[in-house]
Amino acid sequence: MNCRLPLPLLVQKAGKPSIQSLLLEEIAAYLAARNQRPYRAKQIADWIYQKRVNSFDEMTDLPHDLRHRLAEDFAVGGVETVRILGSDDTTRKFLFRLRDGNLIESVLIPASPALYGERSDRRTICVSTQVGCAYGCKFCASGLDGFSRNLDASEIVQQLLAVEKASGEKIDNVVFMGMGEPLANFSNVVRAIRIINAPWGLEIGARHITVSTSGLVPQIRKLADESLQSRLAISLHGATDLVRNKIMPVNRKYDLTSLLSACEYYASRKKQRIYFEYILIAGVNDAEEQAHLLASHARRLGAKVNLIPYNTVEGLEWSRPSRTRQERFLSILREHGTVATLRHEKGHDIDAACGQLRLQTKRSERGAVAPVATTLAH
Ligand code: SAH
Ligand code: SF4
């Protein structure tokens, strides 16, 4: 063993895969091909996910030459925290810069009401899965700048690591509801879920991981066939094709009938209740008739409905209905026996709707608007 190797181990070549993209068995296979002992794989995973080191050099129970080799082949990390908005007891937003300069964001929602998990005291992180989004829903900030690229699994996993590091809090609920369409980045998202869920990884129970989709029917069926018990949320936002077609171009490809039957398939394969997300937008999808129809879709699937008052996006003219109208919509659902909640958006004041912080930052970097506050407000 050569213990006197120079240690330029922190120098990470751009373009190297990050070690956080690998499953334990892949680390083991990499090591086996280099005649290393199998137990080293678990040691490496412990350094990354338990001890949370930032370089191979810190993995002190690995031989120097192995550390050096790993550093040649992989990066550790690659997500840099550039901004945090919000305070300890409210929603906090994290803006990250990736190795190629792209910006993504995550939202941490502490002690929120039980939206996805069963308990009500969970710290939920909302993660991004793509830079931008190609699906162009008319109300959404994420699609405004178009689509740049998919995140790899490590860039998804690292959002959790970085938020836990910056906040000092343990995350116990994950929702794939940040920027991007998770099911359009299927293999990286499934890989990230496996790492987040694994006992050697972040050890978050699959039932506390929720993937949200605008309605990619073939991928919903594919996800149903994966050996994962993560949960599924559908961004419905309209109970008829007429309404969905107006605001969600994806519905022209996969209409409501095919979407609901894919949901039925998912619910029966997983023996799970799915969630319908329904943003309430004034004059667009908040008519009473929509509530009655939504209740009937939910009954058919045994789905739970989360109503979300629309969060205003700079540059878009949409707005949320009055509180009375929101409550009326909710009570119609409940009259039908639908399990439904009306979310009171905690992060409204800090532009919590996904994609907005990034958009503001990009605009301010281009000099279009004044920069937003960058400090943690207490
Ligand atoms: N692409 C996926 C996941 C990311 S969007 C999807 O569409 O499901 C996460 C959720 O935020 C979706 O339900 C989306 O419709 C919602 N959303 C987008 N813009 C919003 C806004 N301005 N106010 C409230 N919710 C919004
Ligand atoms: Fe993309 Fe989801 Fe936004 Fe639609 S709502 S543009 S699918 S991120």
Kindly report, residue by residue over 296-320, the tens digit of the pLDDT: 999 999 999 999 999 888 889 899 9
CA nearest neighbour of 242 among 289, 282, 175, 203: 289
Answer yes or no: is the C-beta of 139 below 6 A from any ligand 2 atom: no
CA nearest neighbour of 305 among 287, 319, 291, 285: 291
Q: How far is the CA of 178 from the centre of ligand 1 (A)?
A: 8
Check 105, 155, 181, 277 and give the catalytic one.
105
**Nearest residue (CA) to ligand 1, atom 15:** 235
Whether 354 sits among the annotated catalytic residues: the reply is yes
pLDDT digits (tens, 9 = 90+) for 25-75: 999 999 999 999 999 999 999 999 999 999 999 999 999 999 999 999 999
Mean pLDDT estimate for the chain = 87
Query: How does DSSP assign 163-188, residue by residue?
Result: HHHHH-----EEEE-SSS-GGGGHHH
- What is the C-alpha R_g of the chain? 22
Tell which one of 126, 129, 130, 133 to mutate to probe ligand 2, the residue whose CB is within 8 A of the most ligand atoms: 133
Check 133, 137, 263, 354 and give the catalytic one.
354
Note every long-range contact of 64-69, with CB atoms under 8 Å and residues 24 or more positions apart, other chains counting. Answer: 64/1, 64/2, 64/3, 64/5, 64/7, 65/1, 65/2, 65/5, 66/34, 66/36, 66/40, 67/7, 67/9, 68/5, 68/7, 68/9, 69/34
Residues 6+ apart with CB under 8 A from 57: 7, 9, 10, 67, 71
To the question of pTM greater than 0.75 for the whole model, the response is yes
Mean pLDDT (whole number) for 289-297: 98
pLDDT digits (tens, 9 = 90+) for 85-139: 987 667 899 999 999 999 999 999 876 554 554 445 578 999 999 999 999 999 9
Tell which one of 279, 350, 359 to mutate to probe ligand 1, the residue whose CB is within 8 A of the most ligand atoms: 279
Whether 105 and 354 have beta carbons less than 8 Å apart is answered as: yes
Mean pLDDT (whole number) for 261-274: 96
Q: Which two tokens stand for residue 127?
A: 């993660």
pLDDT digits (tens, 9 = 90+) for 315-374: 898 999 999 999 999 999 999 999 999 977 544 444 444 545 555 555 555 543 323 322
Whether 155 sits among the annotated catalytic residues: the reply is no
**Nearest residue (CA) to ligand 1, atom 14:** 235
pLDDT at 144: 83
Rounded Cα distance between 211 and 181, Å, is: 9
User: Which run of H or E residues covers position 331?
Assistant: helix 323-335
Q: How far is the CA of 177 from the centre of ligand 1 (A)?
A: 7
Whether 250 and 215 have beta carbons less than 8 Å apart is answered as: yes
Rounded Cα distance between 5 and 263, Å, is: 56
**CA-based torsion, 322, 236, 153, 225: positive or negative:** positive
Residues 6+ apart with CB under 8 A from 320: 280, 281, 282, 309, 310, 311, 312, 326
Rounded Cα distance between 183 and 180, Å, is: 9
CA nearest neighbour of 378 among 85, 81, 110, 171: 85
